[in-house]
């Protein structure tokens, strides 16, 4: 039986940073499910679907074959065989992903892929519905969050470090709006399941959060 660690939480809580560290420490595979929803969103954008065009998403998504492979320990997302890692972090794709991830047919396809992976391999998987839907029998379940102010400040610092221009208040407004969309959607909303351990990383270092999760595995 494979060992599965599920980490859910809102945008900007540090899930991917922490999940990667935990995976490296344990020698497990890190599965970034958000990247799969992003690859699907890229496909939809390329097919000319707009975010208002929700009726077409169910039909068009059937043409996307999404898979993942690992290169030097990094997850590579393949869209119909093409490595799309460098193309899925744009605002246009983020925006489409947040709409198209609400579609039931998109979710059925990607959840199946995620479950197949976790059945074969020891994984640390992060997303919004991992403990609630994808891996309800995960060995460890964590709900990782931080205040919206703190999450906005982290994004702001990241963007400033890259030399990008940005506005802290606007970032926080976007985060609050995305949280609302992720938590109130009909299909697999972001929830903290009762058995998940809540970790609020607002005043914790990356090392402290990683250690807290490793302690849950012992």
**Site for ligand DC, rule CB under 6 A:** 11, 33-34, 37-38, 97-98, 101, 127-129, 182
We find the least distance from the C-beta atom of residue 215 to ligand DC, in angstroms, to be 25
Question: Is the Cβ–Cβ distance between 5 and 138 less than 8 Å?
Answer: yes
Directed axis angle between helix 206-217 and helix 15-26, to 10°?
Answer: 50
For 193, phi then psi, to 5°, come to -70, 150
We find the least distance from the C-beta atom of residue 218 to ligand DC, in angstroms, to be 26
Which CB atom, from 106 or from 218, has the smaller least distance to ligand DC? 106
Which CB atom, from 11 or from 213, has the smaller least distance to ligand DC? 11
Query: For residues 11 and 203, what is the distance between their CA atoms, to the nearest angstrom?
Result: 17
Which CB atom, from 57 or from 218, has the smaller least distance to ligand DC? 57
- What SS3 class is residue 175? helix
Nearest to residue 175, comparing CAs of 5, 8, 3, 10? 10
We find the least distance from the C-beta atom of residue 101 to ligand DC, in angstroms, to be 3
Query: For residues 91 and 211, what is the distance between their CA atoms, to the nearest angstrom?
Result: 32
We find the least distance from the C-beta atom of residue 73 to ligand DC, in angstroms, to be 19
We find the least distance from the C-beta atom of residue 112 to ligand DC, in angstroms, to be 13
- What SS3 class is residue 198? strand
Helices (H) and strands (E) counted in the chain, each on its own, are: 8, 8
Which CB atom, from 110 or from 213, has the smaller least distance to ligand DC? 110
Token digits of residue 209: 């959060």
């Amino acid at each position: 039986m494979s060992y599965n660690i599920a980490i859910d939480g809102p945008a900007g809580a540090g899930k991917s940073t922490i999940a990667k560290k935990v995976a490296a420490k344990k020698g497990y595979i890190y599965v970034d499910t958000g990247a799969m929803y992003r690859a699907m969103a890229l496909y939809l954008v390329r097919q000319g679907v707009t975010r208002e065009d929700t009726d077409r998403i169910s039909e068009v998504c059937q043409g996307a074959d999404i898979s993942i492979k690992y290169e030097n320990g990094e997850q590579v997302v393949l869209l119909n065989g093409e490595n799309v890692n460098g193309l899925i972090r744009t605002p246009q794709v983020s925006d489409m992903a947040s709409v198209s991830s609400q579609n039931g047919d998109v979710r059925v396809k990607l959840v199946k892929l995620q479950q197949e992976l976790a059945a074969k391999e020891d994984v640390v998987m992060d997303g919004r519905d991992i403990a609630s839907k994808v891996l309800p029998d995960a060995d460890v379940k964590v709900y990782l969050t931080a205040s919206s102010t703190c999450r906005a400040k982290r994004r702001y610092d990241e963007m400033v470090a890259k030399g990008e221009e940005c506005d802290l208040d606007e970032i926080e407004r976007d985060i609050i709006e995305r949280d609302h969309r992720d938590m109130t959607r009909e299909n697999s909303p972001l929830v903290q399941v009762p058995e998940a351990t809540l970790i609020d990383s607002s005043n914790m270092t990356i090392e402290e959060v990683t250690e807290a999760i490793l302690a849950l595995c012992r």
